[in-house]
Amino acid sequence: MSPDEFRRHAHAMVDWMADYLADVGTRRVVPDVRPGDVRRRLPGAAPEAGEPFERLFADFRDVIVPGMTHWNHPGWFAYFPANASPPSILAEMLVSTLGAQCMSWQTSPAATELEQVAMQWLRDLLGLDAGFTGVIQDTSSTATLVALLTARERATAHAAGAVGLRDAGAPALTVYASTEAHSSVPKGVKLAGYGLEQLRLIGVDDAYAMRPDLLERALADDAAAGRRPACVVATLGTTSSTAVDPLRPIGDLCRRYGAWLHVDASYAGAAGLLPECRWMFDGMELADSFVMNPHKWLLVNFDCSAYFVRDVDATLRTFQTSPEYLRTAYDPEVANFRDWGVQLGRRFRALKLWFVLRSYGAEGLRTMLRAHIALAAEFRRRVEAEPDFEVVAPSPLGLVCFRHRPAGMDHPAALDEHNRALLAEVNRDGSVHLTHTSLGGHYVLRLAVGQWQTGREDVERAWSLIRRASAY
Amino acid sequence: MSPDEFRRHAHAMVDWMADYLADVGTRRVVPDVRPGDVRRRLPGAAPEAGEPFERLFADFRDVIVPGMTHWNHPGWFAYFPANASPPSILAEMLVSTLGAQCMSWQTSPAATELEQVAMQWLRDLLGLDAGFTGVIQDTSSTATLVALLTARERATAHAAGAVGLRDAGAPALTVYASTEAHSSVPKGVKLAGYGLEQLRLIGVDDAYAMRPDLLERALADDAAAGRRPACVVATLGTTSSTAVDPLRPIGDLCRRYGAWLHVDASYAGAAGLLPECRWMFDGMELADSFVMNPHKWLLVNFDCSAYFVRDVDATLRTFQTSPEYLRTAYDPEVANFRDWGVQLGRRFRALKLWFVLRSYGAEGLRTMLRAHIALAAEFRRRVEAEPDFEVVAPSPLGLVCFRHRPAGMDHPAALDEHNRALLAEVNRDGSVHLTHTSLGGHYVLRLAVGQWQTGREDVERAWSLIRRASAY
């Protein structure tokens, strides 16, 4: 395909893309397909001869898109949002054309420096102190693994990486997170070689936030038994209910026991732009690392995970390799971000973050965040006003957790089953999509407001669908 | 930015993108910038108010692009190629608009099934047997880490993940790779908790390929000492010189000692499309996992790393988590690719692979690979024909390793210094870019042919620049 053929096809794509953004709300959020439906419509082998692009695009439009779940839909209330805003898409277009590899400064000087600049902008917008240095990771799973690995190395004076965890001569290393922490924490604990059994899941209070008294007890027990607390993961905005772990008392305990404090603010971190939400960050000076995802609630295309860390030396000692074929004359004076995480190869992710911060400006982003929070609060009031519904957790941000509790239905299993059926009925409509979780052992529904095109009418529609389904 | 404003800006971007693809060859491959040059031109804080997109784009064009290294340049002979072909860019445009999260089948049904289909197409094109199942990882670093982690879990009957490497009750686990293996192998060995000291770097033969006799000795020594060989990484196409480790004898040894055989064919794997290169794959039935990068030499935009594995159960047991909030009704009957690797969140990478395979067709890709191999062979003959140059390694594919050896200059350090200066002089021109490596303790130059727009005239230009620089 020549550059001129590319030009012709790309203009056609742009019209489809703009139309898609304008009318995505008219599609079903989740497609009406069964496993295998899409696969059955695709040939079993690659063609020998090249095919005209028109045919590829027709298959994309007619087979792939109707089988996709539309995360960019205004009726998206599931999980957390993963926004693909227009300026972010424009950045991805440019970045895919450059095809740059951002492993070293020299392999993409401007990308490296833009990453430094954009991450500093973001740090300052979030009110994080200048002791933090930022680097873009792909996802929070990776960022949390990076923190767990760096903590492991610090706790063993880098013996784990040098001679292995088995022979490092260190006591058993333990990790702490609340029972509500994200699944990437147990996964990272497993992958980093700590072992799941060394993860202490600390109990939570009525608001599903970690109880520092229970953390203290666990730390004390482990220390008394000769184990070494290596890392505590505090969550700001848990996945189930956006519970906010109390950072300051947790941080104080980390200092006392010498544990690395990693703060997982994957979703809630975006709210750090709002002075009225900054209370969550109290105690942040005690944190060793912090991650939030601009690709969730900050309008930056997935993937873009902002990782901030204080101890850059420990990070480099954990991840640095320097084979001859990667050395450049500039290494002593530049940041080579390949040495700040797991992957060698790195996409140019800073451009979309920079475009979004500039296109909306801090005020534009704050306005959007506040609108989503207000819509969630409004929805919460609606739910609370109905006697046969109950809100089951605090809603400090854009998420409301609730369930239907019809008069006379008290058996827990029956309520779970009833709400499971209610969720299926709500989603069957196709104009909205909600997901569920488990809180306090109960099956509950989650409504997360955060998609960039979501307005009051979308939340209203969700609520009327919920009401209607509950009336069956 | 509304969908219609997006439309307007995106059309303008497309014209820039098509122009860029057409004229990238007129730019300097590596920019003439010093560390800090770009950063100094960028403001220190994010704007409060949003800015018009025209201003963002102007900065991209005038500040960022002139500071970029152009991997998509026909004069790209550095490292290995990272191609961004037109159909692949078109796919990235569409994918960035959908903004889909491909963690579970349900969160993107068509993306999951297209990934299965495209990876099966690729597996069959490469002549890999049907015992392999494919999944797209971001990079080879991650894929190799995935293999090392799965091997670790298999060697400890999953005790490492459960109770930790320290207390798994297993003997010391050892890993093997040649002295020429990629830096992601020691990095992965470190991160997975084996410890660098447990990595045996096996010596190579004159062609820089792993010596099975030395591997056998190392395995026997470790087994005799009570250590457990967990994983051998064989490389097809090393980074320094595209050396090809002999798979069959290595695989036989892996079987004998119960070690996981991971095959790193990151660059050379693409050549598996060519029957005349398939000799490299002899013994592949003994491999447990295999990785090659469509984002290198197969025209698929970075990032897209194709990981094939036989033991899916061991993979799932290593990476699976199943928190309530991620469960869906379809889980028992579908592939949830979040459980096949490190990250939970996953981009929709299958579309670009599918577009490229269809747009070029198998024959189109074979034609390109053969053209690059022929250009490399031609360049090699040129170098060999000059008495004061020497080719220092076999060139089975698109890479030629060589150095200048002027009559009378015999001191190794002087030769290294001379070639370092020669490389700097060649690259100073800006129309081509080569990088270096170390082979047999000597500083040598690498010329890797593989960029999709590279033609004979580009290789000619590189050669004449090299000749000119050598004449100083």
Nearby residues of A232 by Cβ (< 8 Å), 6 or more positions away: A175, A176, A177, A215, A250, A253, A254, A259, A260, A261, A262
Q: For the beta carbon of residue B58, count every other beta carbon within 10 angstroms.
A: 11
What local confidence, expressed as pLDDT, does residue A195 receive?
A: 97
Give Rg (Cα) of chain A. 24
How much is the mean pLDDT over chain A?
97
SS3 B136: strand
A136 is written with which tokens?
A: 């873009």
| Whether the Cβ atoms of residue A433 and residue A30 lie closer than 8 Å to each other | yes
User: What is the band of A322 on the pLDDT scale with cuts at 50, 70, 90?
Assistant: confident
Question: Which of B295, B312, B330, B318 is closest to B122 using CA atoms?
Answer: B295
Question: Which of B136, B137, B139, B158 is closest to B149 using CA atoms?
Answer: B158
Q: How far is the C-alpha of A98 from the C-alpha of B84, rounded, in Å?
A: 7
Q: What is the pLDDT of residues A187-244, one digit of tens each?
A: 999 999 999 999 999 999 999 999 999 999 999 999 999 999 999 999 999 999 999 9
Instruction: Tell me which chain B residue has its CA closest to the CA of residue A92.
Output: B96
Nearby residues of A152 by Cβ (< 8 Å), 6 or more positions away: A160, A165, A173, A192, A193, A194, A230, A231, B193
Q: How far is the C-alpha of A360 from the C-alpha of A370, rounded, in Å?
A: 14
Q: What is the pLDDT of residues B352-377, one digit of tens each?
A: 999 999 999 999 999 999 999 999 99
For residue A20, give the nearest of B36, B97, B322 by CB distance: B97
Question: Which of A48, A53, A72 is closest to A8 using CA atoms?
Answer: A53
Does the beta-carbon distance from A99 to B108 stay under 8 Å? no
A422 is written with which tokens?
A: 């209610």
Instruction: Tell me which chain A residue has its CA closest to the CA of residue B196.
Output: A162
Q: What angle do CA B405, B406, B408 make, to 5 degrees?
A: 110
What local confidence, expressed as pLDDT, does residue B46 receive?
A: 97
Measured between CA atoms, how close is B413 to chain A, in angstroms? 16
CA dihedral for B376, B265, B30, B63, sign (positive or negative): positive
Q: What is the pLDDT of residues A456-468, one digit of tens each?
A: 999 999 999 999 9
| Whether the Cβ atoms of residue A52 and residue B37 lie closer than 8 Å to each other | no
Domains of chain B: 100-347 (3.40.640.10), 361-470 (3.90.1150.10)
| Whether the Cβ atoms of residue B433 and residue B30 lie closer than 8 Å to each other | yes
CA dihedral for B125, B128, B129, B132, sign (positive or negative): negative
User: What is the band of B399 on the pLDDT scale with cuts at 50, 70, 90?
Assistant: very high
pTM value is: 0.98
Residue with tokens 């070639």: B419
Integer CA distances (angstroms), B452 to B81, B296, B429, in order: 9, 10, 21
What local confidence, expressed as pLDDT, does residue A219 receive?
A: 98
* B70 chain-A contacts, CB cut-off 8 A: 98, 100
| Whether the Cβ atoms of residue B376 and residue B382 lie closer than 8 Å to each other | no
Does the beta-carbon distance from A166 to B51 stay under 8 Å? no
Q: How far is the C-alpha of B371 from the C-alpha of B456, rounded, in Å?
A: 9
Secondary structure tally for chain B: helices H, strands E:
15, 11
Q: What is the DSSP string of A244-274?
A: B--HHHHHHHHHHHT-EEEEE-TTGGGGGGS
Amino acid, single-letter form, for residue B154: R
- Strand pairing class (B133-137; B305-309): antiparallel
H-only helix segments in B83-131: 86-98, 109-126
Nearby residues of A85 by Cβ (< 8 Å), 6 or more positions away: A299, A300, A301, A356, A359, A360, A452, B1
What local confidence, expressed as pLDDT, does residue B325 receive?
A: 81
For residue B472, pLDDT over 80 is answered with no
What local confidence, expressed as pLDDT, does residue A445 receive?
A: 98
Does the beta-carbon distance from B326 to A183 stay under 8 Å? yes
Q: What is the pLDDT of residues B25-66, one digit of tens each?
A: 999 999 999 999 999 999 999 999 999 999 999 999 999 999
Measured between CA atoms, how close is B160 to chain A, in angstroms? 6
What local confidence, expressed as pLDDT, does residue A472 receive?
A: 72
